[in-house]
Each structure stands twice: as C-alpha cells, then as structure tokens.
Amino acid sequence: MQKVMAVCRNFLWSSSSEYKKPPLVKWEEVCRSKCEGGLGLKNLQVWNKACIMKLIWDIASKKDILWVKWVHSRYLKNKSIWSYENKPDDCYYWKKMMLVRKEFAGMPCSSEYTVKEGYKWLAGNQSRVEWAELVWNKTSVPKHQFIAWLIWRGKLLTKDRLSGLLPIDPTCIMCTKEKETVDHLFCSCPFAVDIFLNVSGFIQFDLTSCSIAELGQKPKEGKNMKDRCFIAACIANCHLLLLHLQS
C-alpha cells in the first residue's frame, strides 16, 4: 500500500513513478476533497481501512456468507466481535482487522455501514476553503486549475520561498523592484497589473486585487456568463504570468 501511494505521489509531482523532487503539498492534504483544499484523490490507506471495516461489519451482523460463518466458528464462538481480544495464536491478518476495528470505535452507529461513510468519518472533516469554487470551475482547463490550486494554497515556488532554501535574489525579475511573493506576482507587480487591466477592459469586470485572498473573494461560478468569463480570465492570466516567468 505504501509503495502504491508513493508511485501516485511521485507521478503527481514529477510525472514519473520514481522520486525526483519533494512534493509541494502533503499527500494527506492532496487527498482532501476539493472543497476542503485538496485534489479530491482517494487516500488508499484510509480507503483500505474503510473496506476492512465493511468486512468487520459483515461479521458483526452475522451476514449469511460462508467465510463469516467460518470466522464465528474459528474465533468468536458466540462472542461479540466488538469485545474480542486478540490471542497469541490468532492469524496475522485477523489481528490487523481487530486493530482497524479499534480505529472505528468512536464512529456513530447506523443501521448499515457503508465504505463511503466509513472513509468520510476516518478521513475527518476540515473547513471549506473560500477559493474552491474559483479554482475548480467548469470553465478553466485542468492545467490552469492545478496552477491556481498551488497559488491559493500558498505553495507556488516563488523567489521569496526559494530564497529560504537557496542563495538567490528574491527580487521580482519582471519589475526588479520588490520581493517576488504570490501577492506581488499576481496582484501588485506592474507587469501583472497591466495584463489584468487589459483583460478587465475586455470582459468588463475588474480583475485587479490587493492580494490573492481578495481575488479569491471575487464572483463565484454559475451565476451568469460574466462571472464565468471572470473565472476563466483570472485563472488563465495566472498561468500566463508563470509561463512568462519561465521563458
């Protein structure tokens, strides 16, 4: 399981199954739902435990299946699975199942357990991020959305972040005046402001902001065509600026 997750993580950040560079966002955060600031990927470890819990639930409810009957005759012997204590000679995998059982001890009871509900409970809930609708809209292309996701998470490798690790000049290469931060790069740099103003005039919507946080408070998706144009232009402009920096 760890190897599979490592391959997924490496491919996301380096397009390769091998480790080539450190991830910009923790895998646990990547696996959060999009509305919670993640990419909506499944955390395989949590999902596996949720699936194991489904097996435990089948055993507890004495489902009419041959293997469930065998477990009751081999291990439980008219005892409850919820109070069962592992024995030295128990099977390795059975012991692992009992450890998973303990992780779900505090889960509210319901008439029927589902893997979906188990995964949701074990993963836990986080507060909804305000910029989710702006980034994960139906108008922008996936490449632009991924860049925007890094920007609003504050994980973009701007010079002010890199200067803490490498001996480089943190000054913005476009204006050569201020430190290159996310807010400066997309909100206050004269070069960026000029681009946003030109696009603002074209779509008749003010794209300029004092900070990325403020920009994330702009109109949300789905209200009207004007809002959708704003979203597409905002995300595309951010991607355009990064392409210019790399050229």
What pLDDT score does 207 carry? 65
Residue 78, Cβ density class (10 Å: 0-12 exposed, 13-18 middle, ≥19 buried) = exposed
In the DSSP assignment, the letter for residue 189 is -
Do 205 and 101 lie in one domain? The reply is no
- Same domain flag for 91 and 23: no
Say if residue 152 is in the same domain as residue 236: yes
Residues 89 and 147 in one domain: no
pLDDT over 70, % of the chain = 93
Which token pair is 62?
A: 């004495």
Same domain for 187 and 110: no
**Residues 187 and 138 occupy one common structural domain:** yes
**pLDDT single digits (tens) 107-128:** 887 778 999 999 999 998 888 8
22, 25, 29, 35 alpha-carbon torsion, rounded to 10°: -150
Say if residue 59 is in the same domain as residue 145. no
CA-to-CA dists, residue 4 to 15, 24, 38, 43, 105, angstroms? 15, 19, 19, 11, 27
Structure confidence by residue, pLDDT tens digits, 20-71:
888 999 999 999 999 999 999 999 999 999 999 999 999 999 999 999 999 9
Indicate if the pLDDT at residue 220 is higher than 70: no
Residues 105 and 148 occupy one common structural domain = no
Domain count, the chain: 3
Find where tokens 């696009």 sit. 199
Same domain, 114 and 151: no
Q: Provide the 3-class DSSP secondary structure of residue 187.
A: helix
Last residue of a domain, one of 77, 105, 123: 123
Q: Give me the pLDDT at residue 115, please.
A: 94
Q: Which residue, of 123, 148, 182, is where some domain finishes?
A: 123
> Is 153 found in the same domain as 53?
no
The pTM of this model reads 0.82
What is the residue range of 97's domain?
Answer: 44-123
Tell me the three-class secondary structure of 119-159, residue by residue.
Answer: HHHHHCCCCCCCCHHHHCCCCCCHHHHHHHHHHHHCCCCCH
User: 215 and 146, same structural domain?
Assistant: yes
Given a contact cutoff of 8 angstroms between Cβ atoms, the answer to whether 46 and 100 are in contact is no
Q: In the predicted model, what is the mean pLDDT of residues 131-138?
A: 86
